[in-house]
Structure formats: C-alpha cells, structure tokens
Amino acid sequence: MKIKRKPDWLKIQLPKGDDYAYVNGIVQEHGLHTICSSGKCPNVGECWGNGTATFMILGNICTRACKFCNVPTGKPLPADTKEPIRLARSIKLMKLKHAVITSVDRDDLEDGGSGIWADTIKEIKKTSPETTLEVLIPDFNGKEEDIQRVINENPEVISHNLETVRRLTREVRSKAKYDLSLKVLKQISDADIVAKSGIMLGLGETEEEIYQVMDDLLTVGVKVMTIGQYLQPTRNHLQVQEYVTPETFKKYEQVGLEKGFTFVESTPLVRSSYHAERHVNALNLKQVLKND
C-alpha cells in the first residue's frame, strides 16, 4: 500500500525556545522519561515550550507491543524505587501547576507497577501540594486491587485510553481488551474521581463506531474524551488509513458534547495529555460532575 502524504493541517512547530530548553535540561539531568519524546508526540514543541510535560514512569521499555506505539518493547529493567522521589523533586523544580504521569505496561511485575504508581503520586502531592495531577494508567490486567492502589492516592484525573473502536482493538492494542478497559474506567468513575479516555482516528474506523465508543464511555461514567489523528511512528507500525479533516474532528467534538461529555478535545494533533490542564483548571471539574 502506498504511504499517504501528510496534509498541511498536520504541520507542527519544531521544538525551540528557552522554556523548551529548560524543561529538556531538567529531563536530561534527572534521568526522566517522557512520553513526549519516547512516543514522538507532535506537540512536544508547544507543550515543553509552555513549561509542561508528560512524564513516563517505570522505565522506557514496555512489556506489550501495541502496533501504534513507538515506545520500545522487551524485557524491562527492575523497577526503580527511588524514581518517585526523583520525579517529585523535578516537578517541584519545574514549578508545574499541573502534571501528567503515564507509564509503560509492566506485566512482568506482580502488582503491575501499581506500588510505584502510588508512591509517585504520594511523593508529588507531598512535595508539591498545589500541583494538580492527571495519571494515565495501563489496565493492570484488570486487577481491581492494583487499580484501587492508584485510586486511593486521589489524583484529580485518572485516564485510561481505549485507543480505538471495539472492532479494531485486537489489531491495534496487542494484549488489551476493549471491555476490560471499560471496566477499568468504571472502577475509576465509581470512586468519584474524574475518568478520562481517548481514541485515535485514521485506522479504518467508521463514524458509527466512533459514536458507539462515545456511548460506551458515557455508560461507564467517563466525562472527558480526547480524539486525535493516528500518525505512523515508523514503517514497522500500522499504516494510516485516512487523514481525518479538522472539520470532521470539530463535528465529533460537537456530537460528544451533545451526548453528555463535559470536555471533548478533538483536533488532528490532540493527544491524551494535550491541554490536560484545562480539564482540571478550566472549572471545578469534580463539582461539575457531582451536579450532573
């Protein structure tokens, strides 16, 4: 199949500026991993230039091999028990008002890495109590005790991405299951924590399937959704089937809001952590959800 040429609306800014250099310097100095660089995020220039970043804990080698993701897969190194303190100190040094934390999948660990997750949230809240947190977690193989370990630390937002529609899940997501992810999201929303999820477009999904994802997410209590364009990281990953127009993304945003989501971020360059601070700071999100 001939590789599709990127349209003009997917042009991005190259990383530059003093703020970008400052964030990059701290990341390098403290040996931190970010999904911004590991995942080849198209927004790294904008986000780091604004002094924000999405940190990736538990190493930079994933035990899964999802066909859309550029994070290396293989046998990870042992979990670093000092990582939570190191990351918390770095976030304080950056003076972040809002931080996003994600991780690789760690199916090699008995608790799926949930212990490090809990310690990381705890250290950040202790070191920077004014910093709000969004955590983008794996499915922990659906183990409720591991998911609850993260919930118990009470981050402001807990995200878990469906990534794609039900029909394409097996092809796109390696080990993950669509209904298991919905179960994870329901456990989060049932705990009175803001639940968030996201999908990528351009993998061969239909409009009806996208609307079904919206309905499924709303059914389990998700109120924040992100919709972005899939971009092929390398030739070894899934090919782009379609470049969805900005106008179509705008339509999906409107439909999502009409269906009942509190926030929908839907543009070609949106990623799950893009403009994440808005979902906490634009208004008192927990109060909004309680009043729904």
Per residue of the chain (292 residues), give pLDDT as tens.
555 677 777 766 555 555 566 666 666 666 666 555 544 555 555 555 555 667 889 998 999 988 888 788 999 999 999 999 999 998 888 777 788 899 999 999 999 999 999 999 999 999 999 988 999 999 999 999 999 999 999 999 999 999 999 999 999 998 899 999 999 999 999 999 999 999 999 999 999 999 999 999 999 999 999 999 998 888 888 999 999 999 999 999 999 999 999 999 999 988 765 555 555 544 455 554 444 4
Asked if 86 contacts 27 with a C-beta cutoff of 8 angstroms, the reply is no
> Which residue carries 């092929």 as its tokens?
232
CA distances from 126 to 85, 129, 153 (A): 10, 6, 11
The answer for residues whose C-beta is within 8 angstroms of residue 207's C-beta and 6 or more apart is none
pTM: 0.85
And the tokens for 124?
């950040």
Say which DSSP state 156 is in. Answer: S
Cβ neighbours of residue 33 closer than 8 Å, sequence gap 6 or more: 55, 56, 57, 59, 60
Strand bridging mode 54-57 / 33-34: antiparallel
Q: Where are the domains of the chain?
A: 9-291
Residues 114 and 149: beta-carbon distance below 8 Å: yes
Nearest Cα to Cα of residue 118 among 92, 155, 86: 155
Residue type, 171: E
CA distances from 179 to 30, 141, 161, 176, 185 (A): 38, 12, 12, 9, 10
CATH superfamily for 9-291 is Aldolase class I (3.20.20.70)
Tokens linked to 144: 């409720």
Task: State the residue for tokens 């309680």.
Answer: 290
CB within 8 A of 94, min separation 6: which ones?
A: 23, 26, 51, 53
CA dihedral of residues 160, 166, 168, 174 (deg, nearest 10): 50
CA distances from 235 to 75, 231, 271 (A): 23, 11, 21
Q: Among all chains, which residue has been given the structure tokens 């212990």? A: 115
- Nearest alpha-carbon partner for 213 in 168, 247, 172: 168
CA 207 to each of CA 116, 227, 238, 255, 260: distance values in angstroms, whole numbers, following the listed order: 39, 13, 20, 11, 18
